[in-house]
Amino acid sequence: MFALLPFCVFAQQSIDQRVEELLSKMTIEDKIGQLNQMDGRRDVEKIKDEVRRGTLTSIMNIVDPAVTNELQRVAIEESPAGIPLLFARDVVHGFNTVLPIPLGMAASWDEELIEAAARNTALEATERGIRWAFAPMMDIARDARWGRIAESFGEDTYMAGRLAAAVVRGYQGESLSDQTSMAACAKHFVGYGDAEGGRDYNTTTIPPRTLRDVYLPPFKACVDDGCASIMTSFNDNDGLPSTGNRWLLTELLREQWGFEGVVVSDWGSVAGLIPHGVAHDKRDAAQQCIVAGCDVDMSSRSYLLHLKDLIEKGEVDEAVLDEAVRRVLKLKMELGLFEQPYARTAEKSDIYSEEVLNTACRLAEESVVMLKNESVLPLGEDVKRVLVVGPMADAPYDQMGTWALDGDKTHSVTPIMALREEWGDRVVIDYIPCLTHPRDKSTAEFKKMQKAARKADVVLAFVGEEQMMSGEAHSLSSLDLQGAQSQMLEAVAEVDTPLVTVFMAGRPLTIARQVEISDAILYAWHPGTMGGKALANIIFGKSSPSGKLPVTFPRNVGQIPIYYNHKHTSHRAKGTEGNLDSIPREAYQSVMGHTSSYLDVAPSPLFHFGYGLSYTTFELSDIAIEKTAVTADDTIRVSVVVKNSGTREGTEVVQLYTGRKTASVTQPMKELKGFQRVTLAAGESRKVEFELPVSRLAFHNRDMVLAVEEGKYTLWLGTDSQNGLKTYFKIIK
C-alpha cells in the first residue's frame, strides 16, 4: 500500500504531478477499480470487502457519516492502492432541507437566490459525507407528460444554462477543496428531455442543428463555469446511445469544449447498450463506452468485469484506461480527499438551521406563480373565516416532490400548519380535506364541504400531484387532475364563496376548467420543506407573488409539444382558429384556414412562457437602444423604464427577447436573451439596463458553422414572452 505517502511527499507538487506519480504505481486492477461506482444500500460488511479489494472508486446513497468514515478508513488503510473513496448522492433540490423542485426554482428567475440555496444544500450534504452531487439537470423539457420535467429548469435554453450554472457555483463554492463543497454533475448529456411521447428513457431524434442550438448550450454554460463532472443520458439520439457516443463525449465535449472533468454514466447505462441493441453483452458495452469517453461506470460492473480482458487482448489500449483514471484521481485530489478524506464536522450543524430554512422559504415564495386573481388575494382584514380543503393542504411528504431522498417529512411546514400558526389567532380556519390523497375518488365529504363553504368568507383549495406522480419513470398520458379533485373543485365552486385554488405539482397540468371556475390561481409546484409557510405568506399578503412561468402551459395534452420559441412556419396560425363548433358542415369538403393549427383548440397556450401576476401592477415605457447598428463583436446596450403603478411593493421580472424573420436557416419567433428581477415600492420607477453581447445571437448557419449573421433584428423588453415594448437593430460587418 502506498497512498499514505502523498499527504506529505506530494505536498509541494501540482495536482497533475501527484496524479502521475500515483498512477505510475497502480496495477491494472487498481486502475479499473477507480472506474467502478456502486450503490451503497446493501450490507456494509460486503461493501467493506469490495473496498479492501480496491474494486470501488465511489459509493452512492450512504448518508451516515459513521458509515462513510469507516468505509473511508478501510479504503485508505486496507485497500491495495489506499486511494480514498468519493461518496455521491442524487442531491437534486436540497438535501435535508428540501427546496422547490428545479422547475419551481426556475419560476423564481432568481439565479442569485438559487446559488445561495445550492450553497446551503452543499453545507447540509457535506456534513453527511457527500462530496459528489448528481445535479443540476438542465435537460430542455417541452413535454409535460415527461415525469422528469420536474427536475428541469423548463423549456428555454438560455434560462436553463444560467440557472444550472448557478447551481454549479453553489455546490462547488469558491474551491472544490473546501470541505463544504461538492462536485456538481451536469446531466443528462444529451437530449434526454426530448424523449418520444414524454415516455422516460425513450429514443430521441434531434437534428444536429437543433442539438447544437437548443440542447447543448446549457451544458456548455456549466463547462464554462467549471462543472467538475458530466453524466451521460439513457437515451439514444439518431441511433447512438449517449454513453457510447464517442463524438459526443470525446470529440465535442473534450476536444472542442476543452472539458477536463469526469464523465460518469447514468445508472446502468453502460450495460444499457445491450437492450438498446448496439452491444452484444457487457464486455462489448464496456469496450464501446470506455473508448467513447465514459470514465466511470455507475452500477453495471461492466468495466470491473471486462476491462482487464479487453486490454490484455488488445481491444482497448491501456492508455485509454489511464486517461479515465487520471480524471478520476484529479477530481479526488481537487476535492482534497487525500488530505481530508472524512466527513466534515461542524461546530454548529447547518442541517435545518434557521438560515437554511429561511432561504428555502424565500425561494419557495419566489417560485409561486399567480396565474389569476379576481381581486381575492391577498386576504384582507375583512376575512374572518376560511375553509381549507384538498389533499395537498396537509401532505408533508408529497409537497417535497420527487428526489427528496433526504427530506424528513416531520420538518415539512404544510399549508394548514402555517395558516393555523401564522393566522389562526385572528381568522377561524376550518379544515375539511375531502380527499386523503390526490388519487382519492371518494365524494363522501363533498356535502359537508359545501355546507362549510357557505359559512366561510373564502375557500382555499390545495390540489395537485402526490410525490410519486412526477419524476423519473413517472410519465403520464393525461395531465388532468387525478382522483376526484376536479369534482371537488366543481362542487365547492357551486357555492358562491370566493375560491382560491392552489396547485402543488411536479409539472404543468391541464387546468383550463379549474382556472375558469376559480377566483384566483396560485401555482406552487412542489415547494419543498417550507412550502406551507411560503404559501401562507403569499395568501395573506406578507409577501407578493413574483414567480414567472419557466414553461408553457397547454390547454390540453393534444397541444404538446408547445413552447414559446417555436420556429417561423409557412402557414402560421392567426390565433382565431380552434372552434370546431363554429365551422359549417359544408366547410368540411374543402381545405380550411391554411394555417398550422388544430380544428378543436386555439393555437395559443393556456398560459405562455414568462407569465405571472403580482399584487401590484407594472408599466414599461421609454425603451431605448444605444446603437441601432452593431457588429458581431459589439455589445447591445438597451434600457427600459419600469414603474410600479400599483399600491404596494412588488417585484417584476423584466425579460429581454430577440428575434428575426430572415436568416440562412429558419429561426425561432423569439428567444430569451436576458432577464432581471426588479423590486419597486408603490409608485417607484427605475431604468433597467441590459448589456447583450452580440455573440449571444449566434446560431448554426446553413453550413453548420456557429456564427452571427448580419441583418435586421427585433428586440423586445417585456413582462413575459408575449407582452412588452420593442425596438430594432441591425448587425453589420
Tell me which amino acid residue 168 is: V
Q: How far apart are CA 40 and CA 461, in angstroms?
A: 41
Q: How many Å apart are CA 143 and CA 83, to the nearest integer? A: 43
Does the active-site annotation cover 266?
yes
For residue 712, the one-letter residue type is K
Say if CB 434 and CB 481 are below 8 A apart: no
At 689, list the grid cell. Answer: 439596463
By the 10 Å C-beta count (0-12 exposed, 13-18 middle, 19+ buried), 291 is classed as middle
Give the N- to C-terminal CA distance of the chain in Å, as an integer. Answer: 63
Contact at 8 Å (CB) between 13 and 21? yes
Dist. CA 406–CA 197, nearest whole Å: 31
State the Cα–Cα distance between residues 85 and 342, nearest whole angstrom: 10
Residue 619 in 3-state DSSP?
strand
Amino acid, res. 290: I
Cα-trace Rg, the chain: 27
Annotated active-site residue in 266, 297, 440, 519: 266
Provide the 10 A C-beta neighbour count for residue 530: 29
- Cell 389567532 belongs to which residue? 425
Buried b (16+ CB within 10 A) or exposed e, 683-713: eeeeebebebebeebebbeeeeeeebbeeeb
Three-class DSSP labels, 228-257: CEEEECCCEECCEEHHHCHHHHHHHHHHHC
C-alpha pair distances (Å), 151 with each of 135, 222, 565, 638: 9, 16, 21, 33
Sheet holding 132-133, edge to edge: 132-133, 86-89, 58-60, 36-39, 297-298
At residue 74's C-alpha, the angle toward residues 68 and 76, to 5°, is 100
Which grid cell is 330? 484529479
For residue 684, the 8-state DSSP code is: -
Q: What share of the chain is helix, strand, coil (3-state, %, to 5)?
A: 35, 20, 45
CB atoms within 10 A of CB 640: 23
* Side-chain half-sphere exposure of 670, counting CA atoms within 13 A: 22
In which element (H, E) is residue 519 found? Answer: none
Per the rule left: phi > 0, alpha: psi between -120 and 50, beta: everything else, 401 is left
- Within 8 A by CB and 6+ apart from 701, the residues are 663, 664, 665, 707, 709
Q: 665: how many CB neighbours lie within 10 A of its CB?
A: 14
Among candidate residues 519, 125, 183, 148, the one with its CA nearest the CA of residue 346 = 125
Query: What residue ranges in 3-47 does DSSP mark as E strands?
Result: 36-39
CB proximity list for 66: less than 8 A, separation 6 or greater: none
Report DSSP state, residue 211: I
Residue 301's alpha-carbon distances to 43, 276, 692, in angstroms, are: 18, 18, 47
Coil, strand or helix: which one is 355?
helix
For residues 384 and 425, give the distance between their C-alpha atoms in angstroms, rounded to a whole number.
10
Residues that are catalytic: 266
